Structure 1
């Protein structure tokens, strides 16, 4: 009753949401699974094993995990635009140098730096900033911002595949670096903190009514749950393109179903963000994770490019809601003054999960020559996530109801 109405919130918040969506599309589309288009070209050029090439992506994700913790703490104390400018510059420079790399360790080091200083600055701090602009409807706002990431995760490998086909992997990586610089640096200047709005005397801020659970219980539980969900979702993100290439004997066209999957994920991120506003963050997260886990093994039943085109958007809609559920849940359970650092801490386990999922996918492909165990393990990871977040939901149910 006493809280500010949505109509009284500054209209600039939608500039923040839009800029955040574009930044996440470029940065996270490149770092999370942009390398999937480079797996086969790097394997053919250098003669490395699939697991060794997939580990380049894993190095970047480990970098995001560690960098997100440190830069999340920094973002709670310094202007967001400075953190974003650091991330934009470091990501672009690392990609530019990686285009000239000739040794495996160089790729590992450069993608780790791109993740730690680039992705670490451009994910948790940006998501926390979006949430800070909204006292009401934060689920929808975060869903819209994270939808940009889903679009980027489809567009970047799709575009990179055709760039590689028209030129070579080095030129494609150089062009990605240049595009990152000319887009992310200007957008960083838009990222500012919301104006302070204390309201009239006696006003109760929305953040103070959020469930105040012990971080000693909540953060470890959320972190382990995110580790499971991200290890599972990393498998189709990193290995769907080579799976389609192997099953259907196609080239760059294999990026098409992945793009469609991530376009569907845009709708999923927005839908489950709105659903979180309606039924609560953890309920929304559970529904999306169940959707993703149930359909994971379906990829192994497909045998034609047409079947991949039909199946991937169905999977993608539910998959898209998982990260929205994670982000809105962290916002709901973390104090406002520590949201960037809490988001960075929990998401560190998410990026470690991505690294684990992508690497194990390449490893089991190398030792079996097929992708069965890759996707079976992804299903097991999803079940672990469901068990943990389900237990946390049941343990906090009375307080969750009070908050909603």
Structure 2
């Protein structure tokens, strides 16, 4: 089921049907995200050979697909931006400037683009953005809150890429990795009007107690740096097309379940909250299914997606999915017939090249034999360390796509 969810979001399968017709003039391809390289590859393969096309996309280190013929692929840091991402963002802005209505900008966006497109506003340094990004990642802030702040410190996000590309027509192809599939949140919406405000960004930072350098505070108080809003003239010739979503991934997994004679129950594609709390709630639903046949009787599988959060309290190696699984296993208490997988569809849960892990009825007993404490691992945010010791990690390598987290709880 996990593999089916990933395959459903493969750009090679989904992207070609969404391509616009070639323009009379030039086609400039730009983009950012964990799937940017595979999206660019799909564009190159589907685009007419006799039609001019060039461009640049930026993806995470290790997520490239090798040299392409017409689109340059560069790699940069995620989740904390680096100088390579800053340089790529500035080059992308230069590529889309000075175009005409006869040209076309094709923008390829997927999750991770916020960190990869790192062009700070005047007065804000890359070091400022790195420090704020690290603080937000540790705070437990939701993705919408983090991207609200990022948009208000960026020269390219929050619709500013669309401003630079005007008056050329702009088509953005998007792989969604956020709850609700809001294109203004995915990669902080570089081609979409921003409905949030500087006051909203300041409120997020205050809510999580994040201190600001004076230069950053000044930018967030200067109205001239407010991003363009929906309805702005910059978006008059801009169009967004969603090519892959978390819901489609869950439906692909459900198809696999039905083929195996297992009833799928999709609980939601946009589940948010603290990972450990979501794990406890999901345990309650799984036990209800096992004991009372609700919302479905065994054999059934509870499917869900979305993006939970982790408030970092310890110093361990953790990600959203393994944190969820730790809490789920503790709450299930080794209940017979219940197993689960949770993983990030990009292959990276947290900051490590580990997609997630699996648990089963014997997880706690095995941990006890190895003198491992699941509660201590949860308290220290050390899910990766715990499941590494158990030998139940899921390692996919870069999947070259990203429709966020995938969770499946199987009740037999």
Larger relative contact order, structure 1 or 2 (CA cutoff 8 Å, min sep 6): 1
TM-score (norm 2): 0.27
Q: Which has the higher helix share?
A: 1
Q: Which has the higher strand share?
A: 2
TM-score (norm 1): 0.28
